[in-house]
């Protein structure tokens, strides 16, 4: 589908179902609004699914793995080979997010959308856009055609997971250098100074941070990104993981599946999706707020408030996985707890 077709096809969440869900919460035999944000998100998911009573049984964490050419500028502590190592560990269920997912009952689906090497049990030809992006200090990270291919891959994967019976999608990523690309994209889309929007990522020292900020500032000026559309910004300084997650968010909206955002990178991808198709915002569920300095700006722009604040900045989808048990507990109360009438208590009123 073209962008224009997607914009026409994707509609906001069902407000009538949201109203019915709110009415259900008012009848549940507990103090009104006492589960706070959990109630809000359970209701939002009802509107996404277009049914007031629902279950969340099958959960999939989609981890977009990609390499970024800008690593050549010394903006990271580690080299690109780490991306493939961690991606392979995903296939062996040996990453932090994998171990957390075992507790939360979440299935892991790693995607090689743009790593510089192929990884057995991860790389699939129909999902790989290219062998890493270009170094955006020297040339745009990717072409518009490559960008749209990666977005379409994310949309397609969302549709496949819907067909496989998944009730909710979680966003994850792995890619050395992707806090640089995300900070660059966020700086432009939120019209903020890169010095405010850029952090140390996975362990840069002060000199490395200065270099990272300079690289971003230089690229924004060189490509005149302050005056550019979203797709141009993404193609110029983005990454394939951002593009794939952007597509996953769009796919969630297209197929009526809630999409749980992880941290900074997936938040930037979601922001791109919403800028392309505003109705996508209704389908996004927050998890936590990353320690990356721009993370809270991105969530604010999306109109989302984090469910948990743990100072996490691990990535991989770990924050999205961590919030699943909370959502399930909220849903359990919503679906199974007796009403005021059932427990023979006078119904609370809003005063």
From 73, 88, 173, 316, the catalytic residue: 316
Q: Would residue 341 show up in a list of annotated catalytic residues for this protein?
A: no
Q: In a 10 Å sphere around its CB, with 0-12 CB exposed, 13-18 middle and 19+ buried, how is residue 163 labelled? A: exposed
3-state SS of the chain is CCHHHHHHHCCCCCHHHHHHHHHHHHHECCCCCCCCHHHHHHHHHHHHHCCCCCCCCCEEEEEEEECCHHHHHCCCCCCCHHHHHHHHHHHCCCCHHHHHHHHHCCEEEEEEEECCCCCCCCCCCCCCCCCCCCCCCCCCCCCHHHHHHHHHHHHHHHHHHHHCCCCEEEEEEECCCHHHHHHHHHHHHCCCCHHHHCCCCCCCCHHHHHHHHHHHHHHHHHCCHHHCCHHHHHHHHCCHHHHHHHHHHHHHHHHCCCEECCCHHHHHHHHHHHHHCHHHHHHEECCECCCCCCHHHHHHHHCCCCCECCCCCCCCCHHHHHHHHHHHHHHHHHHHCCECCCCCCCCCCCC
Active site residues per annotation:
316
């Amino acid at each position: 589908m073209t962008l224009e077709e997607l914009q026409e096809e994707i509609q906001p969440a069902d407000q009538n179902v949201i109203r019915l869900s709110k009415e259900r919460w008012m009848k549940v035999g507990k103090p009104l609004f006492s589960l706070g944000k959990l109630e809000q998100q359970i209701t939002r998911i009802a509107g996404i699914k277009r049914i007031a009573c629902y279950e969340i049984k099958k959960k999939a964490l989609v981890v977009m793995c990609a390499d970024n050419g800008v690593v050549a500028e010394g903006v990271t502590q580690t080299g690109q080979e780490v991306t493939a190592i961690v991606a392979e560990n995903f296939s062996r269920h040996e990453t932090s997010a994998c171990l957390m997912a075992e507790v939360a009952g979440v299935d892991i689906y790693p995607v090689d959308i743009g790593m510089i090497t192929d990884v057995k049990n991860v790389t699939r030809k129909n999902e790989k856009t290219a062998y890493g992006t270009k170094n955006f200090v020297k040339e745009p990270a990717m072409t518009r055609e490559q960008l749209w291919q990666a977005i379409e891959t994310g949309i397609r994967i969302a549709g496949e997971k819907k067909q496989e019976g998944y009730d909710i999608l979680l966003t994850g990523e792995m890619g050395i250098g992707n806090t640089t690309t995300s900070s660059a994209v966020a700086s432009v889309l939120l019209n903020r100074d890169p010095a405010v929007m850029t952090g140390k990522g996975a362990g840069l020292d002060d000199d490395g941070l200065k270099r990272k900020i300079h690289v971003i500032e230089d690229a924004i000026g060189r490509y005149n990104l302050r005056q550019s559309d979203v797709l141009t910004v993404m193609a110029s300084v983005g990454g394939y993981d951002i593009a794939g997650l952007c597509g996953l968010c769009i796919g969630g909206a297209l197929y009526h599946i809630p999409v749980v955002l992880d941290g900074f990178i997936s938040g930037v991808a979601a922001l791109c999706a919403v800028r392309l198709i505003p109705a996508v915002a209704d389908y996004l569920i927050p998890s936590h707020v990353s320690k990356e300095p721009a993370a809270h700006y991105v969530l604010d722009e999306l109109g989302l408030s984090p469910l948990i604040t743990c100072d996490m900045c691990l990535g991989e989808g770990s924050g999205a996985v961590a919030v699943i048990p909370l959502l399930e507990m909220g849903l359990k109360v919503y679906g199974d707890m007796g009403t005021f009438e059932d427990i023979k208590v006078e119904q609370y009123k809003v005063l």
